[in-house]
Amino acid sequence: MTQDRNGFNAQEFLGSTHVFASAVESILEKHLLEEISGKRLTLPQFNLLRLVAATDAHTISEVALFLGVTKAAASKAVDKLVRRKLLHRREGHPDRREIRLSLTQFSRRLLAAYEERKERKLTSIFRGFGKDELRRTANLLDRLSVELVDHHHHSEEVCLQCGIYFRDRCLIRQLVDRDCFYRRSKTHLGPH
């Protein structure tokens, strides 16, 4: 793609955002997870634990939406973590399709160790950047994310996993009339 009249190259910008997202996932998140759990957990499995820590109650449909997989795959993911004693699972009453997931003591310790190491790493990484610069960058990325989702035909089916990053403001809720399960769970269960 050629540059526009202001010298902006959208492909180059998208490339930079992709490289950043890949660095966050591959270098920061996966590496830290491996430090605390070895090869015991994949990042999607760990993110499912983070979801449970943030919300406590879900349906398999919500877990599937969060993971971006089918309901059958979501059910298998939950079952695998239950067998590994990282999650407790109970059926809801009166609706058995609703499930209640909770963390085990071991998974709570894993999450705490991960968050502590991540905080130290981020403090070190962001030391050279001003708070206002980081805040402006975060706002720009949020606005761009909203624009991207807004141009998606099924934006109501998209989950950006805002909740596992402890954000009260879901970007998708800004676009569509959706009762995000992160928000719903927080409202019913109170603060965690």
Average pLDDT over residues 152-169: 63
Give the type of residue at 49.
Answer: L
pLDDT at res. 105: 96
Tokens 């963390």 belong to 103
Question: Which of the pair, 51 or 98, is modelled with greater confidence?
Answer: 51
With pLDDT > 90 as the criterion, what percentage of the chain qualifies? Answer: 28
Query: Is 152 a residue whose pLDDT tops 80?
Result: no
H, E, C per residue of the chain:
CCCCCCCCCHHHHHHHHHHHHHHHHHHHHHHHHHHHHCCCCCHHHHHHHHHHHHHCEEEHHHHHHHHCCCHHHHHHHHHHHHHCCCEEEEECCCCCCEEEEEECHHHHHHHHHHHHHHHHHHHHHHCCCCHHHHHHHHHHHHHHHHHHHHCCCCHHHCCCCHHHHCCCCCCCCCCCCCCCHHHHHHHHHCCC
Average pLDDT over residues 52-61: 74
pLDDT at res. 172: 64
What is the residue extent of each domain of the chain?
22-189
Query: Is 130 a residue whose pLDDT tops 60?
Result: yes
Q: How confident is the model at residue 192 (pLDDT cuts 50, 70, 90)?
A: very low
pLDDT at res. 160: 67
Q: Are 166 and 35 in contact (CB under 8 A)?
A: no
Q: Are 142 and 165 in contact (CB under 8 A)?
A: no
pLDDT at res. 187: 45
| Architecture of the 22-189 domain | Orthogonal Bundle (1.10)
pLDDT at res. 159: 67
